């Protein structure tokens, strides 16, 4: 009997749910709005509905388990969402317990960016690589660190917040309350903020035309649109973001010595306009060439399905490691 897995990507905006096989092929999928402001009870109802929809009439005995990729901070052992800024009103929600009661299936919960690292390792750009770091650059910057084939969780499950390493000691204020975090300098909103600043300072750029003069409409997407068309200001904004991401990666190379860096998220769609300054900075700032010579920095392979597939990989790991808990191996 073929083993199937349900993967859920519980995001701040959307809940994306899929039924997949052991090779990460998605057989059925559905998505709905999260509407987090309606509270955990209401969102749980939508998650349950989505899971029932993708399972359809599938024999439950075929389903190995349910994996959930959720925004942090969360307790990956207990499957408790602690206080997610993206899920209004969620505080200490025992997601794993609630879902196991509902479905009578094993449920595993992980931080979405952590699980994206697992997804890229199992099904994407990092297959067969035992030491890799995944970085997602979109509205925020998150990551997952796999060391010696194990996802690094830390003592309390809060590890791998690569976006909140300080890369500019007196830099701009970050959403986390600190200043100069990588996220505050290179995530999508930071790129958009810099665009507004330089335009207000008199820079002439195609970005202004793209938003019809309404600077509040600028996001990293419009900056990318202008950059892809060759706009020098927009290109420079991605160069600056890439510079800071490069500094963050140098820190990670020195600490973890991975053999691959995978970068995903919507901002990474800028492609070489972002990757080239990242690689240049890494070469300039790494302590020695052996830190980067054999460590490619590559785009993620899985696109929007990365969190769902990470949740699927999380369930698959239980069997691979033949352990009661995914953390015991
Ligand atoms: Zn921060």
Digit-coded pLDDT (tens) for 281-320:
999 999 999 999 999 999 999 999 999 999 999 999 987 5
Mean pLDDT within 76-95: 90
Give the three-state DSSP class for 168.
coil
CB atoms within 10 A of CB 289: 9
User: From the CA of 188, how far away is ligand 1's center (Å)?
Assistant: 14
User: From the CA of 179, how far away is ligand 1's center (Å)?
Assistant: 7
User: From the CA of 208, how far away is ligand 1's center (Å)?
Assistant: 29
Mean pLDDT within 250-269: 98
Is there a contact between 255 and 290 (Cβ–Cβ < 8 Å)?
no
User: From the CA of 59, how far away is ligand 1's center (Å)?
Assistant: 45
Is the peptide bond preceding residue 73 cis, with omega within 30 degrees of 0? yes
User: From the CA of 3, how far away is ligand 1's center (Å)?
Assistant: 40
Q: 280 φ, ψ to 5°?
A: -60, -45
Residue 323: band (very low, low, confident or very high) from pLDDT cuts 50, 70, 90: very low
Single out the residue of 261, 253, 255 nearest to residue 284, CA to CA.
Answer: 253
Q: What per-residue confidence (pLDDT) applies to 320?
A: 58
Q: Identify the weakest region by mean pLDDT among 10-24, 121-135, 173-187, 312-326.
A: 312-326
User: From the CA of 74, how far away is ligand 1's center (Å)?
Assistant: 17
Is there a contact between 74 and 82 (Cβ–Cβ < 8 Å)?
yes
What tokens appear for 242 in the block?
């890439």
Half-sphere exposure (Cβ direction) of 91: Cα atoms closer than 13 Å: 1
CATH 3.30.420.40 residue ranges in the chain? Answer: 4-117+304-320, 127-300
User: From the CA of 13, how far away is ligand 1's center (Å)?
Assistant: 21
- 127-300: CATH topology: Nucleotidyltransferase; domain 5 (3.30.420)
User: From the CA of 178, how far away is ligand 1's center (Å)?
Assistant: 5
Q: What per-residue confidence (pLDDT) applies to 327?
A: 54
Q: What per-residue confidence (pLDDT) applies to 186?
A: 98
Is there a contact between 35 and 138 (Cβ–Cβ < 8 Å)?
no
Residue 322: band (very low, low, confident or very high) from pLDDT cuts 50, 70, 90: very low
Tell me the per-residue pLDDT of 9-25, one tens digit each, with 9 for 90 and over: 999 899 999 999 999 99
Tell me the per-residue pLDDT of 184-238, one tens digit each, with 9 for 90 and over: 999 999 999 999 999 999 999 999 999 999 999 999 999 999 999 999 999 999 9
Q: Answer yes or no: is pLDDT of 325 > 60.
A: no
Cα separation, 148 vs 121, in Å, equals: 12
Q: 261 φ, ψ to 5°?
A: -120, 125
Cα separation, 255 vs 297, in Å, equals: 16
Cα separation, 152 vs 54, in Å, equals: 31
Is there a contact between 72 and 50 (Cβ–Cβ < 8 Å)?
no
Q: 56 φ, ψ to 5°?
A: 50, -130
User: From the CA of 138, how far away is ligand 1's center (Å)?
Assistant: 14
Single out the residue of 260, 249, 311, 256 nearest to residue 282, CA to CA.
Answer: 249
Say if domain 4-117+304-320 classifies as CATH 3.30.590.10: no
What pTM did the predictor assign? 0.94
User: From the CA of 216, how far away is ligand 1's center (Å)?
Assistant: 23
What tokens appear for 142 in the block?
């998150």
User: From the CA of 181, how far away is ligand 1's center (Å)?
Assistant: 5
Cα separation, 312 vs 5, in Å, equals: 6
Residue 2: band (very low, low, confident or very high) from pLDDT cuts 50, 70, 90: confident
User: From the CA of 108, how far away is ligand 1's center (Å)?
Assistant: 27
Q: What per-residue confidence (pLDDT) applies to 324?
A: 43
């Amino acid at each position: 009997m073929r083993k199937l897995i349900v993967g859920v990507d519980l995001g701040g905006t959307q809940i994306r749910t899929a039924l997949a096989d052991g090779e990460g092929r998605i057989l059925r999928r559905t998505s709905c709005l999260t509407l987090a402001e309606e509270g955990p009870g209401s969102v749980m109802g939508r998650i349950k509905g989505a899971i029932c929809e993708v399972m359809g009439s599938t024999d439950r005995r075929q389903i190995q388990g349910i994996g959930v990729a959720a925004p942090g901070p969360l307790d990956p052992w207990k499957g408790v969402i602690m206080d997610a800024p993206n899920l209004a009103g969620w505080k200490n929600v025992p997601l794993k317990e609630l879902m196991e009661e509902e479905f009578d299936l094993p449920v595993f919960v992980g931080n979405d960016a952590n699980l994206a690292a697992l997804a890229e390792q199992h099904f994407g750009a990092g297959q067969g690589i035992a030491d890799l770091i995944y970085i997602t650059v979109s509205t925020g910057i998150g990551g997952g660190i796999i060391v010696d084939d194990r996802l690094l969780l830390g003592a309390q499950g809060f590890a791998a917040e690569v976006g909140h390493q300080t890369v500019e000691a007196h830099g701009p204020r970050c959403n986390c309350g600190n200043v100069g975090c990588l996220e505050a300098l290179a995530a999508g909103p930071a790129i958009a903020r810099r665009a507004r600043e330089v335009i207000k300072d008199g820079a002439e750029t195609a970005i202004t035309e793209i938003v019809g003069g309404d600077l509040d409409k600028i996001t990293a997407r419009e900056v990318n649109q202008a950059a892809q068309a060759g706009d020098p200001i927009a290109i420079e904004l991605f160069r600056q973001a890439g510079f800071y991401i490069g500094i963050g990666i140098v820190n990670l190379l020195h600490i973890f010595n991975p053999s691959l860096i995978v970068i995903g998220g919507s901002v990474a769609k800028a492609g070489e306009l972002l990757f080239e300054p990242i690689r240049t900075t890494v070469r300039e700032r790494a302590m020695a060439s052996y830190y980067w010579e054999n460590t490619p920095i590559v785009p993620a392979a899985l696109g929007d399905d990365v969190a769902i597939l990470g949740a699927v990989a999380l369930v698959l790991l239980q069997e691979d490691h033949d352990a009661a808990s995914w953390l015991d191996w």
